[in-house]
Amino acid sequence: TVYPDQRSASLAVAARIAKLIREKQALGKPAVLGLATGVTPIQVYAELVRLHREEGLSFANVITFNLDEYYPMLPEAAQSYVTFMNEHLFAHIDISRANIHIPDGTLAPDAVAPFCLAYEKQIEELGGLDLQLLGIGRTGHIGFNEPGSAPNSGTRLVTLDDLTRRDASRDFGGKQNVPVKAITMGIGTIFKAREIILMAWSRKKAPIIRKAVEGELSGEVPATYLQLSDHVEFVLDEGAASEL
Ligand code: GLP
């Protein structure tokens, strides 16, 4: 779906999330959301905060699983996805802390694999993700599933692509400070969500959006795997859609 601009697209995505939360509330059930970081979802989160403050949208029944986190990473670091999520969403809504899940960047190396398995299991035991939000990196990564990721991959420790580290270098004051690794949900984890929304804004994302939507299916561009899903929607502004 192509919207005239990022703002109208973000409001539409936030409205869909709010509708899902309210429907689940009416059924007395939790809404299980997969969340993304990056610049892309910021306006969606801002609108959810506004709906909470001004229209009484409650997040009391919401359970969240974030896609990824740098490794190693302290939660209190300015660049952590914990800090990002608190700043843009969690600190401003009535979600229970116990319902927030973000991959743990502080684990000892031998604790990472068991943590990843447990992350998958927690999602499964809740009946799976109702909705997964995605951005897209310039390598075609979703979450931190870089080129070479398998379509059935699960939550795991990955090595970041050089381009991804370069793109993150501004946040870290230089590429040399960007962690080399990250913990990410897998493509297989993302695929199991009942609904997937991938968002992209501006001409900067147009070439990778073209590859993801129209390019040949390839592990070199992990987002092309989404072509295999019948429950994914690309939500774009005109800039990001300009090469389709
Ligand atoms: C990071 C995140 C991804 C995100 C991507 C795009 O690599 N791990 O989940 O989609 O950046 O970021 P942005 O939205 O800032 O363009």
* Ligand 1 mean position, distance from CA 39 (Å): 7
What would the mean pLDDT of 171-179 be, rounded to a whole number? 97
Question: Span 2-237: which CATH code?
Answer: 3.40.50.1360
Band (pLDDT 50/70/90 cuts) for residue 116 is very high
DSSP 224: G
What would the mean pLDDT of 75-91 be, rounded to a whole number? 98
Q: Which entry of 76, 87, 146, 216 is annotated as an active-site residue?
A: 146
Contact of 59 with 98, CB cutoff 8 Å: no
> Where in 135-192 does DSSP place strands (E)?
156-159, 181-184
Q: What is the rounded distance in angstroms from the CA atom of residue 56 to the CA atom of residue 69? A: 30
Atom of ligand 1 minimally distant from the CA of 40:
14
Assess: ipTM above 0.90.
yes
* Ligand 1 mean position, distance from CA 124 (Å): 25
Tokens of 137: 């990196």
Atom of ligand 1 minimally distant from the CA of 39:
15
| Sequence-distant (≥ 6) Cβ neighbours of residue 31 within 8 angstroms | 20, 21, 24, 25, 61, 62, 63, 130, 131
> So what's the pLDDT on residue 180?
98
Distances (CA, A) of 23 to 12, 18, 27, 30, 65: 17, 9, 7, 10, 19
Percentage, residues of the chain above pLDDT 90: 100
| Domain locations along the chain | 2-237
> So what's the pLDDT on residue 141?
94
> So what's the pLDDT on residue 23?
98
Band (pLDDT 50/70/90 cuts) for residue 41 is very high
Tokens of 99: 């319902």
> Can 146 be counted among the known catalytic residues?
yes
Tokens of 102: 């973000």
Give the pTM.
0.97
Q: What is the rounded distance in angstroms from the CA atom of residue 3 to the CA atom of residue 10? A: 9
> So what's the pLDDT on residue 77?
98
DSSP 25: H
Helix spans in the chain (H): 6-26, 42-55, 81-88, 109-125, 162-167, 169-172, 187-191, 206-214
